[in-house]
Amino acid sequence: MATPLEQLNGAYGAVMNAEGQAFFRRLSEYLGLLRENRRIERVVKALSAEVQEAERKYAEEDEQLAREFVALRGDLVELAPEAGEDTEAEHPGQREPFDPAEAERWRAWSFTLANFDAIAADQENQMREEREGDRSRSRALGEILNAMVYNLQYPDDPNRKVRADLDDLRTRLNHLRDQQNAAQLRVEAVAESTGHIALLNLEHVISHTAPRQPRPEAPRGSDSTPSG
């Protein structure tokens, strides 16, 4: 009887040698083997648990870093009160797609302290975009402070610094952002080494290639259309 590894290798070879529609059928069978073979499933679950533990630790680090970024925000406003002028900046409202002016308003608001505070408090009106799979609060908070400090130090010319008094704060900010990046990379390394990312990608492909169930037909003589 073939071992789980031999079964996986055989299924993988069948996928790679298939062409046309057969490729997707074999791909689905390969994913089914990962899900349904008990011994393989135990291994997959163990690896998934390892990723979940790494994500849990990152969530704890993210929370601590977020608090430190909030404290740094207070120091920034104390050193440069003008940085706090956009604390009450009006939220741009519902975002309309394909509107360049609307996109610019959202981009500008996303780097205000109003958005910083919304993210820090995890409010519904926050704007926090994903960067390379990361939507952590600490990353977003660090990006906002980084932009603000840069604009204060180099308002007109990137080669002419006008606020050397913010150098120490800049150093502390860079240190926190390095910590956040290192924490994120640790999670990514675990996800990559365990094959978790590859499995998610495989499931994503299968979800878009699997045949869809036909929509129910309305009874003959009925004018109603099926919802959905």
Of the candidate ranges 41-45, 53-57, 185-189, the one whose mean pLDDT is the lowest: 41-45
Instruction: Dump pLDDT digits (tens) for 114-173.
Output: 999 999 999 988 998 877 778 899 999 999 999 999 999 999 999 999 999 999 999 999
Q: Please say if the pLDDT value at position 212 is more than 80.
A: no
Residue 20 domain-assigned?
no
Q: Please say if the pLDDT value at position 221 is more than 90.
A: no
Query: Would you give the DSSP letter of residue 123?
Result: -
Total domains in the fold of the chain: 1
Residue 28 domain-assigned?
no
Average pLDDT over residues 173-191: 92
Residue 217 domain-assigned?
no
Identity (one letter) of the amino acid at 212? R
Q: Provide the whole-model pTM.
A: 0.69
Show the domain range for 120.
Answer: 37-209
- Measured over the CA atoms of residue 72, residue 136, residue 143 and residue 109, the dihedral's sign is negative
Instruction: Dump pLDDT digits (tens) for 16-28.
Output: 666 666 766 776 7
Residue 32 domain-assigned?
no
Rounded Cα distance, 225 and 228, in Å = 9
66 pLDDT tier (thresholds 50, 70, 90) = very high
Rounded Cα distance, 165 and 159, in Å = 16
Decide which of 137 and 9 is more confident: 137
Rounded Cα distance, 13 and 26, in Å = 9
Q: Please say if the pLDDT value at position 44 is more than 90.
A: no
The predicted structure's pLDDT at residue 20: 67
Q: Are 83 and 152 in contact (CB under 8 A)?
A: yes
Residue 27 domain-assigned?
no
Rounded Cα distance, 181 and 123, in Å = 24
The predicted structure's pLDDT at residue 191: 75
Q: Please say if the pLDDT value at position 210 is more than 80.
A: no
Query: Would you give the DSSP letter of residue 159?
Result: T
68 pLDDT tier (thresholds 50, 70, 90) = very high
Average pLDDT, the chain: 79
The predicted structure's pLDDT at residue 55: 86
Element (H, E) at 73: helix 38-79
